[in-house]
Amino acid sequence: MAISLTVNRKARTVDVEADKPLLWVLREDLGMPGTKFGCGAGLCGACTVILNGEAVRSCQTPLSDAAGKDIVTIEGVAASPVGAKVVEAWTALDVPQCGYCQAGQIMSATALLTATPKPSAEEVSAGMAGNICRCATYLRIQKAIAQASTAISGAAA
Amino acid sequence: MTAATVSRRSFLAASLAGGVALTFEARLAFAAPGKAEPAMLGAFITIAPDNTVTILAKNPEIGQGVKTMLPMLIAEELDVAWSQVKIRQADDNADKYGPQFAGGSMTTPLNWLPARQAGAGARAMLVAAAAQQWGVPAASLTTGEGAVRHAASGRSITYAALAPVAVKMAAPDLDKVALKSPKDFKIVGKAMKGVDTPAIVRGEPLFGIDAHPQGMLYAAMVKCPVISGTLKSFDDAAVRREKGVLAVVPITDGEIPAGKHNAVAIVGDSWWRVHKAREKLAVQWDTSGFDGFSTDGYAAEAKALLEKSPAADLFRAGNADAALAKAAKVVTADYAYPFLAHATLEPQNCTALWHADGKLEIWAPTQDPATARGDIAKVLGIEPGSMTIHMTRIGGGFGRRLMSDFMILTACIAKALPGRPVKLLYDRTDDLRNDYFRPAGWHRMTAGVDASGALVALKDHFITFGASGKPMRAAEMRATEFPAPVLPDVQMGMSFIKTNLTTGWLRAPTSNAVAFVFQGFLDEVAEAAGTDLPSLMVKTLGAPKQLPPEPDDTPFDTGRARGVIEAACKFAGWTGKRSAVPGKGRGFGFYFSHRGYFAEVVDLSVSDGAITIDKVWVAGDIGSQVINPLNAEHQMQGAVIDGIAQAMVWQPIEQKAGAVTQENFGDFPLIRINQTPGEVAITWVVTDNPPTGLGEPTLPPVIPAIANAIKDATGKRLRSLPLSLA
Ligand code: FES
Ligand code: FES
- Which of B261, B298, B421, B431 has the alpha carbon at shortest distance from B352? B421
Q: How far is the CA of B413 from the centre of ligand 1 (A)?
A: 27
The total of other beta-carbon atoms located within 10 Å of residue B153's CB is 10
Beta-carbon contacts of B157 under 8 Å, excluding residues fewer than 6 positions away, are B130, B133, B147, B148
Q: Is the pLDDT of residue B28 over 60?
A: no
Signed CA dihedral, B255, B259, B260, B263: sign only: negative
Q: What is the mean pLDDT of residues B25-45?
A: 58
Cα radius of gyration rounded to whole Å, chain B: 27
**Cα–Cα–Cα angle for A86, A89, A92, nearest 5°?**
150
Cα of first residue to Cα of last residue in chain B, in angstroms, is: 50
A43, A46, A96 member nearest B666 (Cβ): A43
Q: Which residues of B touch A28 (CB under 8 A)?
A: 218, 270-272
Instruction: Name the least confident of B482-496, B529-543, B575-589.
Output: B575-589
Could you give the CA distance from residue B216 to residue B282 in angstroms, rounded to a whole number? 26
Preferred mutation among A20, A98, A125 to probe B, highest tally of B CBs within 10 A: A98
Could you give the CA distance from residue B560 to residue B685 in angstroms, rounded to a whole number? 9
Name the closest ligand to CA A105: 2
Number of A/B CB contacts below 8 angstroms equals 169
Task: Answer yes or no: do B674 and A106 touch at CB < 8 A.
Answer: no
Kindly give the pairing relationship between strand A54-57 and strand A48-51: antiparallel
State the DSSP H helix or E strand holding residue B34, giving kind and residue range, or none if neither.
Answer: none
Task: Answer yes or no: do B395 and A87 touch at CB < 8 A.
Answer: no
Q: Which residue of A has its CA nearest to B680?
A: A139
Name the closest ligand to CA B664: 1
Instruction: Name the least confident of A3-17, A46-60, A77-91, B87-101.
Output: B87-101
Q: Could you tell me the pLDDT band of residue B258, with boundaries at 50, 70 and 90?
A: very low
Residue B1, classified by CB atoms within 10 Å of its CB into exposed (0-12), middle (13-18) or buried (19+), is: exposed
Pick the CATH number of B295-340+437-714 from 3.30.365.10, 3.40.710.10, 3.60.10.10, 2.60.40.60: 3.30.365.10
Q: DSSP labels for B522-591?
A: HHHHHHHTTS-HHHHHHHHH-SS-EEPPPTTS--EEHHHHHHHHHHHHHHHT---PPP-STTEEEEEEEE
The total of other beta-carbon atoms located within 10 Å of residue B555's CB is 15
Task: Answer yes or no: do B272 and A28 touch at CB < 8 A.
Answer: yes
Preferred mutation among B214, B673, B694 to probe A, highest tally of A CBs within 10 A: B673
Could you give the CA distance from residue B142 to residue B148 in angstroms, rounded to a whole number? 6
Q: What is the mean pLDDT of residues A142-157?
A: 88
Could you give the CA distance from residue B32 to residue A84 in angstroms, rounded to a whole number? 45
Q: What percent of chain B has pLDDT over 90?
A: 86
A28, A100, A139 member nearest B345 (Cβ): A100
Q: Which residues of B touch A46 (CB under 8 A)?
A: 345
Task: Answer yes or no: do A136 and B642 touch at CB < 8 A.
Answer: yes
State the DSSP H helix or E strand holding residue B333, giving kind and residue range, or none if neither.
Answer: strand B329-337
Name the closest ligand to CA B64: 2
Give the model confidence (pLDDT) of B63-75 as tens digits.
999 999 999 999 9
What type of residue sits at position B30?
F
CATH architecture assignment, domain B2-201: 2-Layer Sandwich (3.30)
Task: Answer yes or no: do A100 and B196 touch at CB < 8 A.
Answer: no
Q: Is the pLDDT of residue B30 over 60?
A: no
B425, B635, B641 member nearest A138 (Cβ): B641
Angle formed by the axes of helices B159-166 and B107-134, nearest 10°? 90
pLDDT at B6: 31
**What SS3 class is residue B485?**
helix
pLDDT at B719: 98
Q: Could you tell me the pLDDT band of residue B25, with boundaries at 50, 70 and 90?
A: very low
Name the closest ligand to CA A41: 1
Integer angstrom CA distances of residue B589 from B332, B508, B646, B696: 19, 15, 15, 15
A87, A131, A138 member nearest B201 (Cβ): A87
Could you give the CA distance from residue B556 to residue B485 in angstroms, rounded to a whole number? 10
B205, B270, B396 member nearest A98 (Cβ): B396
Give the B window 649-678 contacts with A, CB below 8 Å.
Answer: 664-666, 670-674, 676
Could you give the CA distance from residue B364 to residue B581 in angstroms, rounded to a whole number? 52
Q: How far is the CA of B59 from the centre of ligand 1 (A)?
A: 29
Give the model confidence (pLDDT) of B296-329 as tens digits.
999 999 999 999 999 999 999 999 999 999 999 9
Could you give the CA distance from residue B498 to residue B627 in angstroms, rounded to a whole number? 43
Q: Could you tell me the pLDDT band of residue B410, with boundaries at 50, 70 and 90?
A: very high
Q: Could you tell me the pLDDT band of residue B667, with boundaries at 50, 70 and 90?
A: very high
Q: Which residues of A touch B637 (CB under 8 A)?
A: 136-137, 139-140
The answer to whether residue B190 neighbours chain A at the CB level (below 8 Å) is no
Q: Which residues of A touch B351 (CB under 8 A)?
A: none
Instruction: Quote ipTM for the complex.
Output: 0.98
pTM score, whole prediction: 0.94
**Residue ranges of the domains in chain B?**
2-201, 208-288+348-425, 295-340+437-714
Could you give the CA distance from residue B141 to residue B438 in angstroms, rounded to a whole number? 55
What secondary structure letter does DSSP report for A26?
I
Could you give the CA distance from residue B545 to residue B676 in angstroms, rounded to a whole number? 37
Name the closest ligand to CA A36: 1
Q: Which residues of B touch A96 (CB under 8 A)?
A: 63, 194, 196-197, 200-201
Please state, rounded to an integer, the average pLDDT across all residues of chain B: 92
Q: Is the pLDDT of residue B7 over 90?
A: no
Ligand 1: residues with CB < 6 A are A 37-40, 42-47, 57, 59
Give the model confidence (pLDDT) of B463-518 as tens digits.
999 988 899 999 999 999 999 999 999 999 999 999 999 999 999 999 999 999 99
Q: Which residue of A has its CA nearest to B198?
A: A91
Task: Answer yes or no: do B425 and A37 touch at CB < 8 A.
Answer: yes
Q: What is the mean pLDDT of residues B689-706?
A: 96
Task: Answer yes or no: do A140 and B634 touch at CB < 8 A.
Answer: yes
Could you give the CA distance from residue B553 to residue B538 in angstroms, rounded to a whole number? 23
Cα radius of gyration rounded to whole Å, chain A: 15
Q: Which residue of B has its CA nearest to A136?
A: B638
Integer angstrom CA distances of residue B308 from A54, B311, B690: 61, 9, 44
- Which of A99, A91, A148 has the alpha carbon at shortest distance from B394? A99
Q: What is the mean pLDDT of residues A69-92?
A: 98
Question: What domains are defined for chain A?
Answer: 2-72 (3.10.20.30), 77-156 (1.10.150.120)
Task: Answer yes or no: do A141 and B670 touch at CB < 8 A.
Answer: no
Q: Which residue of A has its CA nearest to B269?
A: A28
pLDDT at B1: 30
Q: Could you tell me the pLDDT band of residue A154, with boundaries at 50, 70 and 90?
A: confident
Q: Which residues of A touch B699 (CB under 8 A)?
A: none
pLDDT at B726: 85
Give the B window 47-86 contacts with A, CB below 8 Å.
Answer: 61-65
Q: How far is the CA of A133 from the centre of ligand 2 (A)?
A: 5
Could you give the CA distance from residue A109 to residue A113 in angstroms, rounded to a whole number? 6
Q: Is B345 in the pocket of ligand 2 (CB under 6 A)?
A: yes
Q: Which residues of A touch B397 (CB under 8 A)?
A: 98
A32, A75, A138 member nearest B676 (Cβ): A138
The 3-class secondary structure across B451-468, one letter per residue, is CCCCEEEEEEEEEEEEEC
Choosing from B197, B206, B345 the residue with most ligand 2 atoms within 8 A of its CB, the one to mutate for a pocket test is: B345
- Residue B138 Ramachandran class (φ > 0 left, ψ -120 to 50 alpha, else beta): alpha
Q: Which residues of A touch B425 (CB under 8 A)?
A: 37
Q: Is pLDDT larger for residue B338 or for residue B468? A: B338
The 3-class secondary structure across A47-75, one letter per residue, is CEEEECCEEEEHHHCEHHHHCCCEEECCC
Task: Answer yes or no: do A46 and B203 touch at CB < 8 A.
Answer: no
Residue B261, classified by CB atoms within 10 Å of its CB into exposed (0-12), middle (13-18) or buried (19+), is: buried
The answer to whether residue B395 neighbours chain A at the CB level (below 8 Å) is yes
What secondary structure letter does DSSP report for B205?
S
Identify whether the C-beta of residue B42 lies closer than 8 Å to the C-beta of residue B136: no
B208-288+348-425 and B295-340+437-714 in the same fold: yes
The total of other beta-carbon atoms located within 10 Å of residue B575's CB is 9
**What SS3 class is residue B45?**
strand
Q: Is the pLDDT of residue B24 over 50?
A: no
CATH topology for the B208-288+348-425 domain: Aldehyde Oxidoreductase; domain 4 (3.30.365)
Q: Could you tell me the pLDDT band of residue B695, with boundaries at 50, 70 and 90?
A: confident
Q: Is the pLDDT of residue B255 over 70?
A: no
- Which of B312, B669, B629 has the alpha carbon at shortest distance from B469? B312
The answer to whether residue B280 neighbours chain A at the CB level (below 8 Å) is no
What type of residue sits at position B124?
A
The answer to whether residue B206 neighbours chain A at the CB level (below 8 Å) is yes
